[in-house]
Structure 1
Amino acid sequence: MAQQKKHITKNQHFVPQFFQRFFSYENNGKTIGMFNTKLNIFKNQVPISSQLSSVYLYDLDGNLENWLSQHEADSAPIFREMWEKEKLPTTQSKDHSKMLHFMVVLDLRNPIHFKILNNLEQKLPNTKSKISEGNVSTDDMVSKLKEYQTYQGKLKSLQSAQLLVSDLLDLKYKLIKNTTSNPFIISDNPIVLYNQFLEKRNWTIGSQRDFGLKGLQLFLPLNDSYMLAVYDPNIYKLGTKKQQVVAIDDKNSIDQLNLLQFLNSESTVNFSHRASKHYINTLYERSKKYKKANDPSINVYKMNVPKEYYNLTAQMIEMGASDLNIKLSVQKLNFISKSSTIKLKSLNDQYRKNVKFKGYTYIVYKFTPIDEKS
């Protein structure tokens, strides 16, 4: 008996179609509004099947794509209930973990991550050393970055995303209910990681968007009226203590949250029928005043080495990407008073307690014998 041929999806979505349907035109579940920021093209309706996807983005054999499809099927009911019933998962429940897992995977599966890795791979060989003449020895790092971009590397990365969930269970989460006439929008990179705390401190050591950082905030629009906000409760408060749903009637706050979608995107924002061409163009023009996120960078710092290692010098090579910094100010989202007493003196001070994994900044320590320096 002939073996049945395995179906492999060619057009692989990096923002799930179920999620895009939450923003569909007049809730038809088939089309969505689109604005291309690079071509300056606005369309009221385009097929969801054609949006936020790429040919064989994840694999050629269907294994990772099938894993993602099952992951999406498990997650979809949780997110639909948020905006349909204003219902959030119970803290520390299975659905709480599933919610966080979906958010981590949504972040890590985005093509922007693969682009960052590729750009870092290209930049590394030309990176100048701070402790010796010439370039940093980067062969081992380049090979590692290449590995992360393979189909097998993507599979390994996304399937291990569950490990990051434990680092996020200490964060609080609420719904923001948009009661203004300006609708929430999404983009080709819809989950926004922000950090008002480190932004206010002018913190420049590493990324401000690592999953384990103090002051972390995650904003994920759910449809044109609701947004999921996940945040560090030791730094911020959102609404009152008892509120799970926080209504915002300030248009400027909504516009700022939408502005983050433009700045976090690669080339596309999407929206429901409630977003006019004028509104989208206004946000687009406003976004030009700020630096976009996800611009790859490599920094090299000379380090102090203990005297007993007299024959060594050391450098720290930091690989990361630009942060979102717009001096965000959102109605009913405020710093708690004790956050002002937190001291930041070192790299470790920026992380929340018991954090195991860091999400965005790759830090490599290089030790070089003095007699090998040029």
Structure 2
Amino acid sequence: MDEKIGKTKIQHFVPQFFQRYFSFNNNGKTIGMFNVNNNVFIPSAPIRTQLCGDYLYGKSGDLETWLSELETKSAPIFRAMWENEQLPKYESITQLEMLHFLIVLDLRNPIRFNLLQDFEKLIKNTKSSITGNNVPTDLVTVFKELQSERGKIKSLISAVEIVPNVIDLKYKLLKNVTEKPFIISDNPLAIYNQFLEKRKWNFVSQRGYGSMGLQMFLPLNDKYMLLVYDADVYKVGNKKETVVELNHLESINQLNILQFLNSTDTINFNHRASEHYIKTLYEKSLRYKKANEAFVNIHRIDDGKGGVKPLEEAIEVGVTDMKINLVVQKINFLSKSVGIKLNDSFAQLRKGVKMNDINVYKKTTAANSGLAN
């Protein structure tokens, strides 16, 4: 057991194989780093020390071993994207493996674990709009369990169950032909939703995996980015092309700013990113609110007669989204998307999706809120 612990002490939440796609001068060993908190730019830092933590997935090594096996299987899929401009075929095993990797990459990030701690604290201090007392804290037990090693294992391994709910999404490669490179962060899968942003939808989160209008942006190296998107809402390039060239510098800048807003504190890049460019992007990113901040709100429940139900309320548990009024060259709304109507549900789901995994709701009544005591 001690030998196993020693081998897995440094546990990367962004795989080293993925970081190597952005390595300095393609050396496969070092990567550029900018620390957002202290404004420090380092052109070349060891990949082994980047985007990792000690025993992040526990000391048993079981989850780290499982993640390593997933990475070994996934690496050729993503390398083929930027090396050969080759995407998985639709309705193939490779497509499922690609989507599985994306979901795990999102769920394994420390931001997810930190949000659970924040939710726990917020729930404990949230007051009922009906009684004025604290709301029930049974959700705290759930949050605590998810933070444990057992909870992390269960969450990540069950990610495969989410894949059927994103298999409807289409995907293309965005090819950056400008002089500025794509960059990544300590949370590189940037999940956005231009559609719900435009509709000013503000409940819980616009980026649940089942959300209507979902977009996932994942930089693959300095020149290529994978875009996974809701094809019932967006048109990306021409219908037949799987690789869409972007020569509009402002589009590249906006996509890079998403990495700043989605990050905790670290931006990474290769030799093509100058200190001036990274710091300029950082300054621009300060205009916007960062994503991934936890919040808890209390809502009264409509009684359908113009009033509210006197003894019921709903607890909204969510995270802040990135909202920069994103406009990217060759990503456009389909004309039919104008006619899409939003319903009165908290979650605006795509057709065929039966879950909204990223969001948590709790409906409380007089009995469990303490009003009946």
* TM-score > 0.5, shorter chain as reference: yes
Q: What SS does the corresponding residue of 2:356 show, helix, strand or coil?
A: coil
- Residue deviations 1:197-237 (CA, integer Å, cap 9, x gap): 00000011221010000000000000000000000000001
Structure 1 position 306, deviation (Å): 8.4
CA distance in 2, matches of 1:4, 1:362: 38
- Residue deviations 1:128-157 (CA, integer Å, cap 9, x gap): 11122222121x110110000000000000
Paired amino acid for 2:51: L
* RMSD value, Cα: 1.8
CA distance in 1, matches of 2:84, 2:191: 25
Identify the residue that residue 105 of structure 2 maps to in structure 1.
Answer: 106
Q: Is the 8 A contact 2:262 2:292 kept in 1?
A: yes
Paired amino acid for 1:70: E
Identify the residue that residue 322 of structure 1 maps to in structure 2.
Answer: 320
- Residue deviations 1:307-334 (CA, integer Å, cap 9, x gap): 9xx9972111111110000000000000
Q: What SS does the corresponding residue of 2:165 show, helix, strand or coil?
A: coil
Q: Is the 8 A contact 1:71 1:102 kept in 2?
A: yes
CA distance in 2, matches of 1:311, 1:199: 30
Q: What SS does the corresponding residue of 1:237 show, helix, strand or coil?
A: strand
Identify the residue that residue 344 of structure 1 maps to in structure 2.
Answer: 342
Q: Is the 8 A contact 1:13 1:54 kept in 2?
A: yes
Identify the residue that residue 175 of structure 2 maps to in structure 1.
Answer: 177
Structure 1 position 345, deviation (Å): 2.8
Structure 1 position 38, deviation (Å): 0.2
Q: Is the 8 A contact 2:313 2:364 kept in 1?
A: yes
Figure out how many residues of one structure are paired with residues of the other and give that number. 369
Matches within 5 A, 1:3-22: 5-6=3-4, 8-22=7-21
Paired amino acid for 1:176: L
CA distance in 2, matches of 1:212, 1:5: 41
From 195, 199, 202, give the equivalent of 1:201: 199
Seen in structure 2, the aligned counterparts of structure 1 residues 30 and 133 have a Cα distance that, compared at 3 Å, is: same
Paired amino acid for 1:217: Q
Identify the residue that residue 82 of structure 1 maps to in structure 2.
Answer: 81
Structure 1 position 298, deviation (Å): 0.3
Structure 1 position 58, deviation (Å): 0.4
Q: Aligned pair 1:150/2:148, yes or no?
A: yes
Structure 1 position 357, deviation (Å): 2.6
Q: Aligned pair 1:65/2:83, yes or no?
A: no
Identify the residue that residue 129 of structure 2 maps to in structure 1.
Answer: 130
Seen in structure 2, the aligned counterparts of structure 1 residues 118 and 349 have a Cα distance that, compared at 3 Å, is: closer
Structure 1 position 304, deviation (Å): 3.6
Q: Is the 8 A contact 2:296 2:318 kept in 1?
A: yes
**Runs of 5+ unmatched residues, structure 2:** none
Structure 1 position 36, deviation (Å): 0.1
Q: What SS does the corresponding residue of 1:263 show, helix, strand or coil?
A: helix
**Runs of 5+ unmatched residues, structure 1:** none
TM-score, length basis structure 1? 0.95
Matches within 5 A, 1:1-374: 5-6=3-4, 8-138=7-137, 140-304=138-302, 313-347=311-345, 350-369=348-367, 372-373=371-372
Q: What SS does the corresponding residue of 1:43 show, helix, strand or coil?
A: strand
Seen in structure 2, the aligned counterparts of structure 1 residues 365 and 245 have a Cα distance that, compared at 3 Å, is: same
Q: What SS does the corresponding residue of 2:63 show, helix, strand or coil?
A: helix
Q: What SS does the corresponding residue of 1:6 show, helix, strand or coil?
A: helix
- Residue deviations 1:282-302 (CA, integer Å, cap 9, x gap): 000001100000010001101
Q: What SS does the corresponding residue of 1:256 show, helix, strand or coil?
A: helix
Structure 1 position 4, deviation (Å): 9.8
Q: Is the 8 A contact 2:172 2:228 kept in 1?
A: yes
Structure 1 position 105, deviation (Å): 0.2
Q: What SS does the corresponding residue of 1:81 show, helix, strand or coil?
A: helix
* Worse-superposed segment, 128-137 or 101-110: 128-137
CA distance in 2, matches of 1:145, 1:338: 40
Q: What SS does the corresponding residue of 1:220 show, helix, strand or coil?
A: strand
CA distance in 2, matches of 1:43, 1:346: 49
Structure 1 position 355, deviation (Å): 1.2
Paired amino acid for 1:61: S
Which portions of structure 1, spanning 4 or more consecutive aligned residues, are displaced by more than 2 angstroms? 3-8, 304-307, 369-374
CA distance in 1, matches of 2:50, 2:161: 29
Seen in structure 2, the aligned counterparts of structure 1 residues 6 and 315 have a Cα distance that, compared at 3 Å, is: same
Q: Is the 8 A contact 1:304 1:314 kept in 2?
A: no
Q: What SS does the corresponding residue of 2:225 show, helix, strand or coil?
A: strand
Q: What SS does the corresponding residue of 1:273 show, helix, strand or coil?
A: coil
TM-score, length basis structure 2? 0.96
Paired amino acid for 1:19: F
Q: Is the 8 A contact 2:211 2:347 kept in 1?
A: no
